[in-house]
Amino acid sequence: MKVSIITLQAVKNYGSVLQAFATQEKFKEYGLDVEIVNFVRKDCLKQNLMKTWIQKDNGIKRFLKIILLYPTLKRWERVFGGFLDKYLNLTKKIYTTEKDFIDSTPEADIYCTGSDQVWNTGWNKGIVPPLYLSYAPDNKKKIAFAASFGNEKLDKLEIKQIQKYLKRYDLISVRENSAVKILDEIGIKNSKNILDPTLIMDKNFWLKYIKNRMIKKDYLLIYQLNSNKNFDDYAKKLAKQKGLKLIRLCTRYDQILENGYPILIPSVEKFISLFYYASLVITDSFHGTAFSINLNRNFISIYPSQYGGRIEGILDLVGLQKRHLTNYSDFNMADKNIDYFKVNDILLKERMKVNNFLKLAIS
């Protein structure tokens, strides 16, 4: 039996490629022939990436930004593109427009909208019908696997546009409880809340991809996606207090100017390794939080100004709400023990829910 999965694997970041890989591997555990649709949003095409990043800039600022971003974009292509080529079973055809799907519809027994922020209209710059399986034949099973709206509420126009697509699904699972509420409110009943795919695969799975330790000294790892001076100052002071080397996992080359010794856009495997060997992690990233939890690390989460609900949701689920930093004068949080026996037990039970969902999906 073949399953065709559409997700956001082509977005150039660690969380996107890792959730796609984890989804693929989980479906393979059920003996399915898994194919990932090589869907690339128009703004993520190689020829459009630079335009996307500089679209709001003019004059000298635009020129300087091009010079600074060019090596970053080339490195992204090697790191993330290389990982996808190595680990994912992608379609040979690249799909971008709705016409691409009409002209060459992927063939499968089950069609699946994968995880990540596939239904986030802000992130995707509007409603993208193929991410709602608009192209899937009426007589084929359609499911959603840990999909996310990225928001806690939708506007009326958005609801009206997506209802017709969502009603075609046979089974829907979403990544946040808030998404279950959204679906209930718009008449899509019986959706399930399940883990993000990176958490569905347990610690032992990810250990297979760990590389040798890069930093010999004990270190505090910063994985920061949003500019925040308070975050930077806090991490610097905390590292000094704890006697830890301050390491910054940089997703762009210009981040070398921020606090901490920079690790510049490491391979995806080294990304996992940096979390695994860290004495302490400070992050404003959902997947940074997820990997800290899954690898049983000491960590502190700082909510970003937008989409912080995703981090709040996973902390609530595993009972680690107190790992959310609300006071930049609190330097004692890192000394408080995390009961990972309890956390791992919760994750094990949640993974059983995922297994039940998948058994139903492929039956």
Structural domains of the chain sorted by starting position, each given as residue range(s) with its CATH number in brackets: 2-201 (3.40.50), 210-340 (3.40.50.2000)
The CB density around residue 160, as the number of other CB atoms within 10 Å, is 11
* Residue 115 and residue 176 in contact, taking contact as beta carbons nearer than 8 Å: no
Instruction: Tell me the whole-structure pTM to 2 decimals.
Output: 0.94
Q: Which two tokens stand for residue 125?
A: 């710059």
User: How far out from the chain centre does Cα 321 lie?
Assistant: 20
Residue 58 in 3-state DSSP?
Answer: coil
* Residue 131 and residue 160 in contact, taking contact as beta carbons nearer than 8 Å: no
Kindly give the confidence (pLDDT) of every residue in the chain, 363 residues in length, as a single tens digit, with 9 standing for 90 and above: 999 999 999 998 999 999 999 999 999 999 999 999 999 988 777 766 666 666 666 667 666 767 778 888 899 999 999 999 999 999 999 999 999 999 999 999 999 999 989 999 888 889 999 999 999 999 999 999 999 998 888 888 888 899 999 999 999 999 988 899 999 999 999 999 999 999 999 999 999 999 999 999 999 999 999 989 999 999 999 999 999 999 999 998 888 889 999 999 999 999 999 999 999 999 999 999 999 999 999 999 999 987 778 899 999 999 999 999 999 999 999 999 999 999 999 999 999 999 999 999 988
Residue 301 in 3-state DSSP?
Answer: strand
Distance CA 146, CA 350 (A): 12
Order of strands across the sheet that contains 245-250: 261-264, 245-250, 219-223, 280-283, 299-301
Distance CA 54, CA 66 (A): 7
CA atoms within 13 A on the CB side of 4: 22
